[in-house]
Amino acid sequence: MQLRDGVLCLAEGMRRGECSAVELAKAALERIALLDDALGCFLTVTPETALAQAEAVDRARARREDLTVLAGIPMALKDNLCTRGIATTCASRVLEGYAPPYDATAWTRLRSAGAVLVGKNNMDEFAMGSSTENSAFGPVANPWDLERVPGGSSGGSAAAVAAGEVVYALGSDTGGSVRQPAAFTGVVGLKPTYGRVSRHGLVAFASSLDQVGPIARTVADCALILQVIAGRDPLDASSVPVDVPDYRAMLEAGVRGLRIGVPREYFGPGVDPGVADCVREALDVLVGQGATAEECSLPHTGYGLAAYYLLAPAEASSNLARYDGVRYGRRADGRHTPRELYALSRGQGFGPEVKRRLMLGTYALSSGYYEAYYLKAQKVRTLVSRDFQAAFERFDLVAGPTTPDVAFRRGECSGDPLKLYMADALTIPANLAGLPAISVPCGFSRSLPVGLQLVGRAFDEGTLLRAGHASQQAASQWRRSPPVAAGGKGAAT
């Protein structure tokens, strides 16, 4: 059995005695040791933790205890999810070596379900980026082409799943940071409705936009993971007390009768023709299974990107003010006045992209500019939300490409931040509206993966998962394995 076989297959193998949790953990650790020098997916590897958790699962299975389907499955966490006693750096020098005194709620729930943590994934610093080139500890390579980016900011998580280093991972999605790297690496990425999954223990970037979500090889695996991590959490006031349905049971319902809206704005200028063709072919498959697809309009889509890059930096400028060199995190050496200490600690600790966004956010909130920029961006956010509300009066889902193009080459956008930001143009609207969205692999353009994005009504992840599962089951491209680095050379896995 291989890690790429997925949660259900591996769980069944353990139940039958074909493999053990310890064997799976060792396989994941060996694969990380083999591949990660070239890929750079992990900032921290936790062999002692993984083996101890796996041994506990094997003992429980030997006692014939009732175990969840996730018990014994090797997984990873994006390095902005707090893990008690294990380094959580957000890929920033500001938090280098920091080990939180508590766990994120999403991880607490997975650990209680028997998950086996093999490490923490690399990411864009403080989740600010779309390529995972902005990590203070080095970039991540795309397993499909080591010269290309895996997307961001959850690029380490997506690349680790795509390369078979882990079975699944948790990432965070503020403007597309789960879905965009999933599309770039040929895996599934789900952003739940805002408030569906607790943000407690997720290091804040933009609090009104951030959401924790799973990355896995299949929609079915994402459904299993969401089942565990979803639900009200008293430690997070923004989590919503809405019942969590049985997502796994909903998968086989099919798409017959589903109405799919296809926004013309999602196929406009800047969308690669090969990407558009793959997405349209995937929609044709769903129509062939009984769904209907009709063109529609989300007229304010084009304004979402600009609004996001005012709102998210504004919230970040507030959230990241806590890294001052006094309470925790990096502290500048020497004796300094408080003002000098703050400036030196932050100047030495934050990377250029974080500094760029903090300055933009501070400017947008400053006296004399608040109404001209921040307040206007909030009004645009409302218009984007109303577009979706109008669409969902006619449709059950909205569909289009996850990204305008396939993964770009490393360094291609480093001198042009606006070009980099455009990679999130199609994912940002769902974050602004707080809606659930999923990226499902749907083909290849120029030999690189393409993602189909589905957006649903608030708290209707079940319909997203139904449609995504139907799309994936009807296709075979997602079963292909990427070329990855082995011993410094490309090798198929």
| 239 belongs to the catalytic site | no
Q: 3-state secondary structure string, the chain?
A: CCHHHCHHHHHHHHHHCCCCHHHHHHHHHHHHHHHHHHHCCEEEECHHHHHHHHHHHHHHHHCCCCCCCCCCCEEEEECCECECCECCCCCCHHHCCCCCCCCCHHHHHHHHCCCEEEEEECCCHHHCCCCCCCCCCCCCCECCECCECCCCCCHHHHHHHHCCCCCEEEEECCCCCCHHHHHHHCCEEEECCCCCECCCCECCCCCCCCCEEEEECCHHHHHHHHHHHECCCCCCCCCCCCCCCCHHHHHHHCCCCCEEEEEHHHHCCCCCHHHHHHHHHHHHHHHHCCCEEEEECCCCHHHHHHHHHHHHHHHHHHHHHHCCCCCCCCCCCCCCCHHHHHHHHHHHHCCHHHHHHHHHHHHHHCCCCHHHHHHHHHHHHHHHHHHHHHHCCCCCEEEEECCCCCCCECCCCCCCHHHHHHHHCCCHHHHHHCCCEEEEEEEEECCEEEEEEEEECCCCHHHHHHHHHHHHHHCCHHHCCCEEEECCEEEEC
Of 92, 130, 153, 154, the catalytic one is 153
Active site residue 78: yes
At residue 206, the 3 state secondary structure works out as coil
Q: How far apart are CA 163 and CA 186, in angstroms?
A: 10
Considering 20, 135, 177, 471, which one is annotated as catalytic? 177
Among residues 78, 92, 157, 317, which one is catalytic? 78
How many residues are given for the chain? 493
Is 131 an annotated catalytic residue?
Answer: no
CB count within 10 Å of CB 239 equals 20
Residues acting as catalytic residues:
78, 153, 177
